[in-house]
Structure 1
Amino acid sequence: MALKIFFPICCSSAESGLLVGRWIPEQNCAVILAVAHFPFIPGQVKQYLGEVRHATGVEVSVLGSWTCSKPTEEGKSLDRFLEDLGAIFSHDPWIQLSKEPSSKFWSCAAARRRPGGGEGGETILVYYDQRKTMLSRLHPPRGPEAGEAASPRDLEVEDASELVAVFDTVSRSKVLFVKDRYDEGPVKLTHWQSDGVEASIIVELMKQASVPACLLLTCLLSLVSRLCQSRALTFWPLSFIWSKLSTCQQLRHRLQHLQDVSSTRKAPDQAQLMRKANIFVSVLLDVTLGILLMSWLYRKNRIGHLANALIPMADHVAQQLQDLLQWLMGVPAGLKMNRALDQVLGRFFLYHIHLWISYIHLMSPFIEMILWYVGLSACLGLTVALSILSDIIALLTFHIYCFYVYGARLYCMKIYGLSSLWRLFRGKKWNVLRQRVDSCSYDLDQLFIGTLLFTILLFLLPTTALYYLVFTLLRLLVVIVQGLTHLLVDLINSLPLYSILLRLCRPYRLASGVKLRVLEQEAGKPLRLLMQINPLNYGAVVQTYRLPTYSCYPKDSWGSLCKKLFVGELIYPWKHKGEKQD
């Protein structure tokens, strides 16, 4: 097996010293993390690396020597001194890397030194960007990318465990990267943060400043959560209403998000940290869009214009429904309907429209005030405003929902009655205990009554089916409008905006794998490769970091939905009580 050495690019300009890193015997590879340069005392280096191992759990040790000196007498003596350090640290194999001024690229020569004095086998030197590897998170490869054949200019890493071990070693070595060559101490290191740690200091100061704000927000949210869970809101009428209103569902969802974001507990892994960042950006964007909507509504008295236009709009819809019912009570599309049943159903629905218009005109003095307070709720987020809009649509179209329920129940009763009587003609019956159709013998009176009822239901079915069809189409139109609103709410709730922005601005942070590019390949010299990070594609980013959300629409298949529509079963635009939320 070839010896693979992962060497950071940032250490190419380091002074001569010791190579500090981790040896992975399973893959026969060494991951160089830093260069400890002079002056140093070997005992103090061992003590410091022991502290790093205890703090990180990474088996960090001295793997070899790094020589970056000119070909002078002083440089040669330094090279001999570094070779002699192999007896002190006694790592097998002892890796020696040296600067090659004659090479076309900045490169190093690698050699293995065994106790017997023999040289090692083939050596592969892989240069990697330590900063990108440290900040990136590796995702397992998917699809045909993992099995693509390697080419001389674009080599895919086939051993995923080795790649995971390299990324894991660099990411877990944060303690080692705290000390650099400018610190006063017995050990001076060169690594990716040696030229700039100011940004890290600023981030730490911001983290310390956010702790009191998070504590205050956590206390407020816990108080609100206790008020929402009080016994007064758990009784039947209120609990049923809260479970069906989209606004309450969205507020509960956002309350959980704010509790997760304001929690002072440290995220256990990178996935939870990314989830908190996605939630924070989602809430921030939601509130920003809500404030923009609120400012637009209160500018130029748009609330008053909307309230003044609401009553004429309701009257216009009611008039259109009355015209539709008058058309159904006549000869719709030339169809001959049952006159008595047609008149009864038409007058019944006209009376409901009259009640609804009376209710709307009774509420007209309070509509502007209601809309004014509803507009204020947009400061809680655009999703809250859209949820309130969905609930308002549901309330304003409640009469259409009633028409749909009446028509569906009547149509469903006739469909099930006709199916039961059809089994009677075939000498069958439905066995309730066994849940199947069994044979049965009927006498003459039962067949006569069954024939009479079947004839009545069959001739009344076209009139009922027409009313059911019309009001089902109206109901589906309302459900489609509410469904589009809920889809927009779910999109804002679940879209991982932070991960998408991270993929757009810093694609190396989300890695799906690496690409190895050949830098130099000469006979008698180690193969030199450059490791480049392949970013995760946008579809995989959305699929991996998509936030869980609730759904207010049924999850039936198209076949099941068409079956329910055909037999007259009700279609509810909310989740059923027994279903589990996401």
Structure 2
Amino acid sequence: MVLKAFFPTCCASADSGLLVGRWVPEQGSAVVLAVVHFPFIPAQVKELLAQVQRASRVAVAVLGTWSHRRLEPEEGLGRLLEGLGAIFPHEPWLQLCREKGSRCWSCKAVHRQAPGAPSEDQVMVVFYDQRKVLLSQLHLPAAQPGHEAGDALGSAGGLAAVFDTVARSQALFRSDRFDGGPVRLSHWQSEGVEASLLVELAKQAAGPICLLLTCLLSLVSAVSACRVFKLWPLPFVQSKLSTCEQVGHRLEHLTLVFSTQKAGSPAQLMRKANVLVSVLLDVALGLALLSWLYRKDRTGQLADTLVPVADRVAEELQRLLQWLMGAPAGLKMNRALDQVLGRFFLYHIHLWISYIHLTSPFVERVLWHVGLSACLGLTVALSLLSDIIALLTFHIYCFYVYGARLYHLKIHGLSSLWRLFRGKKWNVLRQRVDSCSYDLDQLFIGTLLFTILVFLLPTTALYYLVFTLLRLLVVAVQGLIRLLVGLLNSLPLYSVGLRLCRPYRLAAGVKFRVLEQEAGKPLCLLMQINPLSYSRVVDTYRLPSCGCHPKHSWGSLCRKLFFGELIYPWRQKRDKQD
């Protein structure tokens, strides 16, 4: 039987001593964590291991002996190492030895309690970088369809056990904090732990600062939950404004970042780091935008440009309506209905132009104060820009609603009258189409109404088509802004940076490279970490966004447009979809 011994590369040149680690019987492997050097007192070693087990809840034990014959004389070493097996009983007992004057290793596992003569097993040595394995997070692949979970994890179970053992054995690497006596160990922190004065000062100051900011955020949350803000129509307006939604989303992020509660798992710690980096980048981009706006009086330039642009849009809409009131593209329209609809929309445009000219003296002051919102982050400024676009194009939305309602009413009427001709009717109680018999008067009135609606439909459909295209153009612009806001909110920037700078921290698996392979000698492999791909990093650590826009399929969107149903891009996800 061939057993696997995972040996840390930092201990390859250590002095002879005891192998301390964990035995994984299910995988037939031993994970070596450290080497205890001579001289030592066995009672102190046992006490140290007991304290490590209580602190880390890992079954750490003495697995065998390690002999480095390049550094140690051979006289009496073999008898000493064999005698240690009686003091630290373990089955099997590993014996790892590096030959003197050679790069070859001698590895075997002795079963001393076997019936008859003690039996020996060959050992395959797998070297691993203890620091990288300790700091990395292993992401096992999900079970494939049609395979059992045990089959999917069978090959990865031993690998997961290795990573879990090293990750949970940090107490052994900090063994100098235990009162186990002068026991000298070799592991990845044997030469000391690097420390930074600035990092230590930041850790000491982080607690009071986080506590203070948590209290301030709690006060802001309490003020926002006041009854005054729940009076109608404030809740309705807040639910429709992207700015209020984004501010609330960032408030949740700040509450998570400055929470004094310790993260319970590496995934929660990674999420907290991603949120912190996302907030910092958002604020930095917002401050850059703020600096650009208030430099060289760009807010005044925007105000001077905004009013002429609004006038130009209104003039183009007037020309469009005048074109529709004539013979658009050579189409013959219903003259009376065309004139009524055209004059109705022209009157709304006249009201809108009057409103723009009335508010034009205050535009620069409003933009100056609105620009201050960029200090809260670029996402807040973009959300405010989306709301401003919605307000400036409110007349286009009104035109779209009028045209859609009128078009939907005629489509609904035509479908009902078409069922009348076929002897059918809509059963409201049972929500189905049933057969029905109509008399002559009903059929005559239905035919008259059907004819009127059919001849009026092209004029209504043309107005509906034009204003729907204008509305979709505005929705597309708002959708691009919301897409950028959602990207800034959900992109796991810390995880992506970690994958770029330290790819071993996010492990998708491992690969093995053969180091030594000679006849009669144990196989020596080097375990290297395969990092996660960037796409999988983004999918795994993506942050939840505050987007409230429902995702319509192309089929449902075309159906809504054909039947004249209103499309509300701000409808909440919890609302019932049509």
TM value normalised by structure 1: 0.94
1:31 aligns with 2:31: yes
1:326 aligns with 2:329: no
Tell me the alpha carbon deviations over residues 393-433 of structure 1, each in whole angstroms, 9 at most, x when there is no partner: 00000000000000000000000000000000000001111
Tell me the alpha carbon deviations over residues 162-214 of structure 1, each in whole angstroms, 9 at most, x when there is no partner: 11111000001111111369999421211111234123886555323211111
1:547 aligns with 2:543: yes
Structure-1 residue corresponding to 2:170: 174
Letter in 1 for 2:97: S
Tell me the alpha carbon deviations over residues 485-529 of structure 1, each in whole angstroms, 9 at most, x when there is no partner: 000000000000111111111111000111111111222221111
Residue number among 112, 115, 133 corresponding to 1:114 in the alignment: 112
Structure-1 residue corresponding to 2:336: 340
Whole-Å separation in 2 of the counterparts to 1:124 and 1:308: 77
Look up the SS of the partner of 2:195 in the other structure. helix
Whole-Å separation in 2 of the counterparts to 1:438 and 1:40: 94
Tell me the alpha carbon deviations over residues 37-69 of structure 1, each in whole angstroms, 9 at most, x when there is no partner: 123210011011101101111001111111124
Contact 1:182 1:188 in 2 (8 A): no
Whole-Å separation in 2 of the counterparts to 1:529 and 1:181: 34
Structure-2 residue corresponding to 1:426: 422
Alpha-carbon deviation of 1:161? 1.1
Structure-2 residue corresponding to 1:403: 399
1:48 aligns with 2:44: no
Cα gap change, 1:273/1:260 in structure 2, threshold over 3 Å: closer, same or farther? same
Alpha-carbon deviation of 1:337? 0.6
Residue number among 363, 388, 399 corresponding to 1:392 in the alignment: 388
Look up the SS of the partner of 1:525 in the other structure. coil
Look up the SS of the partner of 1:517 in the other structure. strand
Cα gap change, 1:181/1:471 in structure 2, threshold over 3 Å: closer, same or farther? closer
Structure-2 residue corresponding to 1:152: none
Residue number among 557, 562, 571 corresponding to 2:567 in the alignment: 571
Using the TM superposition, name which of 414-423 and 1-10 deviates more: 1-10
Contact 1:140 1:513 in 2 (8 A): yes
Alpha-carbon deviation of 1:159? 1.5
Whole-Å separation in 1 of the counterparts to 2:576 and 2:427: 32
RMSD between aligned residues: 2.2
Structure-1 residue corresponding to 2:20: 20
Alpha-carbon deviation of 1:158? 6.2
Alpha-carbon deviation of 1:78? 3.1
Residue number among 215, 219, 223 corresponding to 1:223 in the alignment: 219
Whole-Å separation in 2 of the counterparts to 1:577 and 1:264: 32
Contact 1:62 1:91 in 2 (8 A): yes
> How does 1:192-211 map onto structure 2 within 5 Å?
192-199=188-195, 203=199, 205-211=201-207
Using the TM superposition, name which of 197-206 and 388-397 deviates more: 197-206
Using the TM superposition, name which of 564-573 and 225-234 deviates more: 225-234
Structure-1 residue corresponding to 2:308: 312
Cα gap change, 1:112/1:233 in structure 2, threshold over 3 Å: closer, same or farther? same
Whole-Å separation in 2 of the counterparts to 1:550 and 1:538: 23
Alpha-carbon deviation of 1:221? 0.7
Contact 1:516 1:532 in 2 (8 A): yes
Look up the SS of the partner of 2:39 in the other structure. coil
Cα gap change, 1:204/1:163 in structure 2, threshold over 3 Å: closer, same or farther? farther
Structure-2 residue corresponding to 1:150: none
In structure 1, runs of 5+ residues without a counterpart are 148-155
Alpha-carbon deviation of 1:103? 3.6
Look up the SS of the partner of 1:550 in the other structure. coil
Contact 1:98 1:110 in 2 (8 A): no
1:510 aligns with 2:506: yes
Contact 2:108 2:122 in 1 (8 A): no
Whole-Å separation in 1 of the counterparts to 2:462 and 2:270: 54
> How does 1:76-155 map onto structure 2 within 5 Å?
76-104=75-103, 107=105, 109-116=107-114, 117-141=117-141
Look up the SS of the partner of 1:531 in the other structure. strand
Look up the SS of the partner of 1:122 in the other structure. strand
Whole-Å separation in 2 of the counterparts to 1:325 and 1:569: 23
Letter in 1 for 2:6: F
Cα gap change, 1:46/1:111 in structure 2, threshold over 3 Å: closer, same or farther? same
Whole-Å separation in 1 of the counterparts to 2:163 and 2:156: 11
Cα gap change, 1:89/1:579 in structure 2, threshold over 3 Å: closer, same or farther? farther
Look up the SS of the partner of 2:76 in the other structure. helix
Look up the SS of the partner of 2:169 in the other structure. coil
1:6 aligns with 2:6: yes
Structure-2 residue corresponding to 1:165: 161
Using the TM superposition, name which of 354-363 and 294-303 deviates more: 354-363
Letter in 2 for 1:570: L
Tell me the alpha carbon deviations over residues 449-508 of structure 1, each in whole angstroms, 9 at most, x when there is no partner: 000100111100000000000000000000000000000000000000111111111111
Look up the SS of the partner of 1:462 in the other structure. helix
Contact 1:181 1:194 in 2 (8 A): no
In structure 2, runs of 5+ residues without a counterpart are none
Residue number among 471, 478, 487 corresponding to 1:491 in the alignment: 487
Whole-Å separation in 1 of the counterparts to 2:106 and 2:372: 66
Contact 1:157 1:515 in 2 (8 A): no
Cα gap change, 1:42/1:205 in structure 2, threshold over 3 Å: closer, same or farther? farther
Look up the SS of the partner of 2:260 in the other structure. coil
Contact 1:551 1:574 in 2 (8 A): no
Tell me the alpha carbon deviations over residues 517-561 of structure 1, each in whole angstroms, 9 at most, x when there is no partner: 111122222111111111111111011000011223231110000
Contact 1:275 1:545 in 2 (8 A): yes
Whole-Å separation in 1 of the counterparts to 2:391 and 2:321: 21
Look up the SS of the partner of 2:270 in the other structure. helix
Look up the SS of the partner of 1:533 in the other structure. strand
Whole-Å separation in 2 of the counterparts to 1:321 and 1:437: 42
1:57 aligns with 2:57: yes
Using the TM superposition, name which of 15-24 and 568-577 deviates more: 568-577
1:354 aligns with 2:316: no
Tell me the number of residue pairs that the alignment of Structure 1 and Structure 2 aligns: 569
Structure-1 residue corresponding to 2:235: 239
Structure-2 residue corresponding to 1:286: 282
Tell me the alpha carbon deviations over residues 325-372 of structure 1, each in whole angstroms, 9 at most, x when there is no partner: 000111111111111111111111111111111111111121111111
Cα gap change, 1:157/1:534 in structure 2, threshold over 3 Å: closer, same or farther? farther
Structure-2 residue corresponding to 1:249: 245
Whole-Å separation in 2 of the counterparts to 1:173 and 1:201: 26
Contact 1:181 1:189 in 2 (8 A): no
Alpha-carbon deviation of 1:108? 5.2
Letter in 2 for 1:68: H
Contact 2:69 2:100 in 1 (8 A): no
Contact 2:19 2:36 in 1 (8 A): yes
Look up the SS of the partner of 2:276 in the other structure. helix
Cα gap change, 1:34/1:112 in structure 2, threshold over 3 Å: closer, same or farther? same
Contact 1:21 1:62 in 2 (8 A): yes
Alpha-carbon deviation of 1:76? 2.6
Whole-Å separation in 1 of the counterparts to 2:178 and 2:225: 56
Structure-1 residue corresponding to 2:473: 477
